[in-house]
Amino acid sequence: MMNPQENTEPTYLDVGTGAESRRIAMKLMPATKPGLPTLVWLGGYRSDMSGTKAVELEKHAAEIGAACVRFDYSGHGASGGAFRDGSISRWLDESLAVIDHIVKRPMILIGSSMGGWIALRVIEELRKRGEGKRIAGLVLIAPAPDFTAELIEPNLTETEKTSLAERGYFEEPTPYGPEPNIYTALLIEDGRKNSVLKGIIETGCPIHILQGMEDPDVPYAYALKLVEHLPADDVVLTLIRDGDHRLSRPEDIARMIAAIDGILAN
The pTM (predicted TM-score) of the whole model is 0.95
pLDDT digits (tens, 9 = 90+) for 123-145: 999 999 999 999 999 999 999 99
Superfamily grouping for domain 4-265: Alpha/Beta hydrolase fold, catalytic domain (3.40.50.1820)
Task: Give me the mean pLDDT over the 3-8 stretch.
Answer: 53
Banded model confidence at residue 111, pLDDT cuts 50, 70, 90: very high
pLDDT value at residue 9: 82
Banded model confidence at residue 206, pLDDT cuts 50, 70, 90: very high
Average pLDDT for the chain: 95
Asked if the model's pLDDT at residue 4 lies above 90, the reply is no
Query: Among residues 55, 94, 97, which one has the least CA distance to residue 74?
Result: 94
Asked if the model's pLDDT at residue 7 lies above 90, the reply is no
Return the domain boundaries, the chain. Answer: 4-265
Asked if the model's pLDDT at residue 168 lies above 70, the reply is yes
